[in-house]
Amino acid sequence: MPIRNQSLGDAADEDEHDKHDAGDAAKDQTAQAPEADSGANAQAAEIAAAQAPPPDEEEVGEGQGVSADGLPALPPKMPGGGRIRARMAAVQAIYQWRMSGTEIGELIIQFATAGRLRDLDRAYFEMLIRGVVHDVAGLEQAFDTHLSRPAVQLDPVEYAILLLASYELRECPEIPFAAVINEATNLAKIFGATDGHRFVNGVMDAVARDLRGDEMARSRRGPGA
């Protein structure tokens, strides 16, 4: 199944029903946050970026519909900077790897040559796709028990998003679990099938309980608990 070319504006409209009142403020804060990851500033930017909805359609600009090989093109600007764009490109790369079997090194070269690695955190992009491809079986086990059907029957884009988010939950403890889930949900709104974001959100919430149970418990108890 090819990636659905849902407009970013449609995804943003859906998110308006779900976001908290603090979403707009978080988006404004993220736009000013530095892209470099260092200490508390990086974690604060990660949380704020995850809470912000995908950009409106007018932010995407003309000519940002579908790339030459049929994959949705990345928008020129995204709130939160390089890591959000790195995740978006990583979903495309994982999808393409699964569909074509292209070797990862060659795939990175193709993306760079096509200009898809501009204005993103390339090191994070490469870490994501190499980490996912290196342990697909292990990552699949993280969410397989929470599926109602075999993983092989999943929409290929949603499958790529689940792999990526499971990797971040397992290997990137510095990123809050809520930020990982929100980012995965937003990716599904942009690239996935209709209502696919609800499926991704539910599965990743269950995976977070398995991999970040202590962190989730602390979050529910609140500060100082």
pLDDT score at 75:
52
List the domain boundaries for the chain.
Answer: 8-221
pTM of the model: 0.69
| pLDDT in 10s for each residue of the chain, 225 residues | 444 544 333 443 444 444 444 444 444 444 444 444 444 454 555 545 444 444 333 333 333 344 544 555 555 555 557 999 999 999 999 999 999 999 999 999 999 999 999 889 999 999 999 999 999 999 999 999 999 999 989 999 999 999 999 999 999 999 999 999 999 999 999 998 888 999 999 999 999 999 999 999 998 887 655
Measured CA distances, 54 to 7, 9, 78, 163 (Å) = 10, 8, 8, 21
Could you tell me which residues come within 8 angstroms of residue 99 by beta carbon, excluding any fewer than 6 positions away? 156
pLDDT at 80: 56
Residue 9: helix, strand or coil by DSSP? Answer: helix
What count of other Cβ atoms lies within 10 Å of the Cβ of residue 79?
21
**Element housing 71 (H / E):** none
Residues 6+ apart with CB under 8 A from 130: 104
Say if CB 184 and CB 164 are below 8 A apart: yes
Report the C-alpha gap between 3 and 176 in whole angstroms.
Answer: 28
What pLDDT sits at residue 119? 87
**Tell me, what's the pLDDT at 92?**
94
Check whether domain 8-221 has CATH 3.90.1150.10, yes or no: no
- How far, in whole angstroms, is CA 96 from its chain's centroid? 16
Spell out the SS3 assignment of 187-211. HHHHHCCCCHHHHHHHHHHHHHHHH
